[in-house]
Each structure stands twice: as C-alpha cells, then as structure tokens.
Structure 1
C-alpha cells in the first residue's frame, strides 16, 4: 500500500518502513543545510505548506519526499515553509529555505 498522507503512513502495516524513510529524508535535508529554523515572519511573508509524497520502487525500496513549489533550482527570494506534519516541534517556528529542497545533483542520485 502506498500512503496518500502522513496519517496513513504512520497507521498502515508498513508504518515502520515509512517512518524510517521519512526520518532519513528529514536528516538529509538538515545535513545539506537546505533550511534554517526561524521565527515565523510577519504577515506580509507567505509561509508555504509542504506535503509528504510516498513511493515504493519496483525493487521494493521505500521513498518519502517533501514537496513544494521550490523543489529544484535556486531560491532567489525569502521562502518560508511550515514544519512538516509529524515533525512539528510545538512552536510557531518555520523553515527558511537556504536552497531548493532537492538540488539537481542530489535528485539524480536519490531518485534513480
């Protein structure tokens, strides 16, 4: 079963595998300095929601990715993201993107 959302991922029979790949994804985004946790900006700055997307490859490998409009390419202005479902820290803080979620080099390695 491929989950449609976070709630399905954590309640299905394969929840341990989905949690493992979501944790790996979050760790990778942190490792590559993709974003910085900051206080929520004032009202004139838009904060974009992110969504988990799940995939099971033909070889049985599980994948979980976060998606927004800024997946690839350079971030030329301030972009803020809500904390991903399941990874909220209980504050009103948001992530400020330092670069796109998936630069082209990483994408070619991680999604092949």
Structure 2
C-alpha cells in the first residue's frame, strides 16, 4: 500500500487559484478529490477568500498599504499564505472581485 502522507488543505487550492498558480491548483485539487472532499467546501473557502480580498482591495484603494493588511486582521493570515494573497491583491481590482464573488455564489447555488 502506498499513501500520500501530506495533510489535505483547502487553502493551497484557493490561494493558488487567486494567485494564478494553475499547477498548485491542479495538484491540490486532485488530492482533495481523491480524499473525498466535497467540492462545495472548496467553493465556500473561495467565497470567503474572495470576500476578504474584496474588503482588502477596498482598503488598498483608500490608501492602506498591502503589507499592513497582510500583517493585521482576524484571523491572522499564516505567513505561508502571504505571498499568494499579496499576488491576488495586486492582480484583482475591486470590480473584478465583485464579479468573482457573483460567479462563486452562482456556482455554490448550482452544487
């Protein structure tokens, strides 16, 4: 018997998707599906991330430095996620995140 002892995490799927890291998304999503993870859990995590990114993008538009957002807040962002989240904040506008939130809501309803 051969097994992958790595812990299943949803954050790498969501962070990878918002950071544009397709290879990570594919690898981690495949692990999640093999482990029997309900896809709705991934959609739900993506919705939470999109909402946080939207709120943060609004703060950045008002002049808050990205570094201040990444180092504050509750719950505190784990250091291993900061690079991907920073990339996502730099890549997505408030209006684009609004569209993503809408798309994720539609996907959640269709589950």
Considering fraction of residues, name the structure with more helix.
2
TM over 0.5: same fold? no
Question: TM-score, with normalisation over the residues of structure 2?
Answer: 0.37
* TM-score of the aligned structures, taking structure 1 as reference length: 0.37
